[in-house]
Amino acid sequence: MDPRMYPVGNAGAMQTDPAYGNILRQLRVRVALADVNAGKEVLPALPGRAYRLVDGHITSVGGALAAVTDVRVLGTRAGSSVALLVAPQAGLTQSAMLRAGAATVTLLADGASFTPLDQNTSIRVGKTGGTGTTATAVDFVLTYVVEAV
């Protein structure tokens, strides 16, 4: 590895060393429609750490998603579930990318979708409304930071 691109040392230690700041990470996951309908954990809880979402987008795969009210990315704040990103069914046409900040995607007020979640909690995806049909999967791309708390 080229040390100009990759810092030398224990990467795990760098994540908590204030000299390095927060490390931006990205997850791209294709979630089968059955798992979206049931709800699925996409980022597991990390002991002593909290996730902070930075950006994200949601894309329907294999057809337009039908019969749901919306698809959402969920976290936990103050012990309660919060919807960080909410993409309405009308926008979930095949291959349309619904991105945080777009007019069709609902975020929490005053930038709260991008503040730290509770420590030791996961990030999940799911839906509201009826059982999703037509699409085969939903792609989620989440850009996030893991913070020591």
- Torsional sign, CA 57, 59, 64, 66: negative
What does the pLDDT look like over 67-90, one tens digit per residue? 999 999 999 999 999 999 999 999
Nearest alpha carbon to residue 61 among 143, 125, 140: 140
Query: What are the structural domains, with CATH classification, of the chain?
Result: 23-148 (2.60.120.1330)
Interatomic CA distance for residues 81 and 123, integer angstroms:
10
What does the pLDDT look like over 31-56, one tens digit per residue? 999 999 999 999 999 999 999 999 99
**What pLDDT, on the 0 to 100 scale, is given for residue 18?**
52
Neighbours of 116 (CB within 10 A): 16
Q: Give the whole-number percent of the chain exceeding pLDDT 90.
A: 81
